[in-house]
Chain A
Amino acid sequence: MTTPTELPEDSEKAAGGRRSWLREHSELGVCVLLLALGVLVLTDALTMDVDITQRGPVGPKTVPVVVGIGLLVIAALLAVDVLRGGRGEAEGGEDIDLSEPADWRTVLLLSGIFLGAAALIEPAGFPVAGALLFWGAAFALGSRRVDRDPLIAAVLSLITYVVFDQLLGVPLPGGPLMGVL
């Protein structure tokens, strides 16, 4: 992937410096997102046409405008805090090891598997989609027992389906498989 390019040493260093500065200040991304959210809320509020008869002096616009302005202000305040060296503390936990860098591949893989299962739930039914979700997620998280994992996934998914659909009265789609059984 990396083609050897003959860069002057100091510009390479400067690029590296900028990159590490950005990495250290990646929290500024949160400010950008808050800013964008604020703009979105404000635009939505201000483009509302409120010709529906308004009950009371405060219409449906007021609170969104306040929230939108709040988002803009907080984005600015957070940016100032970050530039001054403030850092949001990443959350710890029982199974969390913060000493190693974040494993983005797993997060993306999990999200993808989740979306895939969501797409399958209606055509294939919950027992199948749920089993695939469990197996896929366990696989993404590092479990490689090809003999055991699918079996556990299938059993758990089936139990969940039966308990919810039959015992607790929470309907879940059975899919063609349940139609056959």
Chain B
Amino acid sequence: MNALNSLMDGFGTALTPLNLLWAALGVLLGTAIGVLPGIGPAMAVALLLPVTYGLDPVAAFIMFAGIYYGAMFGGSTTSILLNTPGESAAVVAAMEGNPMAKAGRGAQALAAAAIGHFAGGMIGTILLVALAPTVADLAVDIGAPDYFAIMVLAFIAVTSVLGSSRIRGLASLLIGLTIGLVGLDQMTGQQRLTFGSLQLADGVDVVIVAVGLFAIGEALWVAAHLRRGAAEPIPVGRPWLGRDDVRRTWKSWLRGPFIGFPFGAIPAGGAEIPTFLSYVAEKRLSKHKDEWGKGAIEGVAGPESAASASAAGTLVSMLTLGLPTTAVAAVMLAAFQQYGIQPGPLLFEREPELVWGLIASLFVGMVLLLALNLPLAPVWAKLLRIPRPYLYAGIMSFAAVGAYAVGGEVVDLVILLVIGLIGFGMRRYGLPVLPAVIGVILGPNAEQQLRRALQISDGGVTGLVNTPFAVTVYAVIVLLLVWPLVKRLVIRGRTRADA
């Protein structure tokens, strides 16, 4: 029951008037930015990072929690009303949501999505409260070799589970690791890749990398291929649900989280797979099979609930292990590092006020999200009409503010642009962006843990695999690496058998 007490303390932190204000502001900002077409949750969170710079860590992360959930909800609004999802997790929301909007049931689709987010977030966060302290307790004894193994797992997972090409994923990861090398070596103070420049000796700030790759890279990429005549959003009134709709959807809302949460906690691409699985499950269980593809409300409710719960699952591995499993988590990890806080098993011991305040404000944020977004939906829908030149000009200006605010140096803006151009090239040639960001954030850390582990074992490679935990993680890695080969062999065997 220790977790419950801590959670109560957390509510004490989160429910002070000022922190409530930050949470509400975060939800509003997150939704507003997330609704804007072309801005996914990762870019929204990266762009809004500088907003929290002046705050103390507790307030900053309370606001951050609001931004996170707000941005995720905003993304599904865009999918439903515009049918052009910007990121893969929102694709499923468009499949049934957009036909519903076209048939004049946009208000119901938005309500199903909003309540789905609420239900998924609530159940997901309850699971987080139940699981996270246990995971942290289990992980508290893990040492350098275990950390290193986890990070290798993150590297491998992010390059080989996501995206279509492993080679391109690895290329992206290596680019990120290279950027992470720039600066002074943490253990010896040796200059690396600084070329004698004083500014580079501090290294490249992860926030600048994230904003550059996600925001500037995207803005430049869109600029090169701007669609003439943007798609027209469907106008919508205040969301509401009839009794029939509720009868059809409540089970979907409750089912979604149990698909979403576990997938969020493992490095498997965040909400992308669970939303799809939830869609398939709902379709199979639906009593209205004829409506699917034409606007079945369960197809919005289930996946949205799954997506929201997967965000909570993501936080489990982010907070307890320091392992980011999605782009948003990667940016949040960067935010933690900004305050000199290292997420990991010790976080719950060292920063109880921060962690439990953050978790409590997830609950608060969810309530605020529902209370604010249902009445405000018509306003959010208007944001979809923003002229695209203003939208992307705004993204670039805001990115500039963010990068400048990091250290107040003009050089950072130049670095931001260079990284933005790298991001542009990566989008052009299909290199996924996420591995690069993970490489920058985890690279230096992984190197330190590796060296620490080898220091303990006096250089023996066995020092990396001398704990059961590390061995287990490496076994998982081998499985991840071998799985595609096995699959190919099985398919080949099967086709041969058929022939």
Q: Enumerate chain A interface residues (CB-CB to B < 8 A).
A: 27, 30, 33-34, 37, 40-41, 44-45, 48, 50, 52-60, 62-64, 67, 70-71, 74-75, 77-78, 81, 86-91, 93-98, 100, 102-104, 106-107, 110-111, 114-115, 117-119, 121-122, 126, 130, 133-143, 152-153, 156-157, 160, 164, 168-173
Given contacts A64-B181, A107-B223, A164-B405, 6 further A-B contacts (CB under 8 A): A56-B459, A135-B393, A160-B401, A164-B50, A168-B55, A173-B408
The answer on a CB contact under 8 Å between B222 and A96 is yes
Interface Cβ pair total, 8 Å cutoff = 242
Q: Are B84 and A94 in contact (CB under 8 A)?
A: yes
Residue contact B429 to A27, C-beta cutoff 8 Å = yes
Minimal Cβ-Cβ distance residue in B for A88 = B430
A122–B86 Cα distance when bound, in Å, is 35
Cβ-based interface call for B51 (8 A): yes
Among B376-399, those with CB < 8 Å from A are 387-394, 396-398
Question: Given the interface contacts A63-B450, A93-B38, A115-B417, does A88 sit within 8 Å of B168 by beta carbon?
Answer: yes
Sorted nearest first, the 8 A-B pairs with minimum C-beta distance are: A88-B430, A169-B54, A57-B459, A56-B455, A137-B393, A143-B389, A141-B389, A118-B413
Point out the residues of chain B lying under 8 angstroms from A117, CB to CB.
400, 413
Bound-state CA distance A120–B230 (Å) is: 33
**CA–CA, A27 and B164, complex, Å:** 16
19 CB contacts below 8 A, A to B, read A54-B188, A55-B187, A56-B459, A60-B185, A63-B181, A63-B447, A67-B178, A77-B167, A86-B167, A88-B431, A90-B429, A103-B225, A107-B224, A122-B410, A141-B388, A142-B389, A160-B401, A168-B55, A169-B54
Chain B at the A interface: SS class: helix
Give B contacts to A, CB under 8 Å: 37-38, 50-51, 53-55, 78, 82, 84-86, 164-165, 167-168, 170-171, 174-175, 177-178, 181, 185, 187-190, 192-193, 216, 218-228, 230-231, 387-394, 396-398, 400-401, 404-405, 408, 410, 413-414, 417, 421, 424-425, 427-431, 447, 450-452, 454-455, 458-459
* Min CB–CB distance A168 → chain B (angstroms): 5
**Which residues of the other chain, A, contact B451 by a CB distance below 8 angstroms?**
56, 58, 62
A81 and B429 CA atoms in complex are apart in Å by 13
Contact A118 B53 (CB under 8 A): no
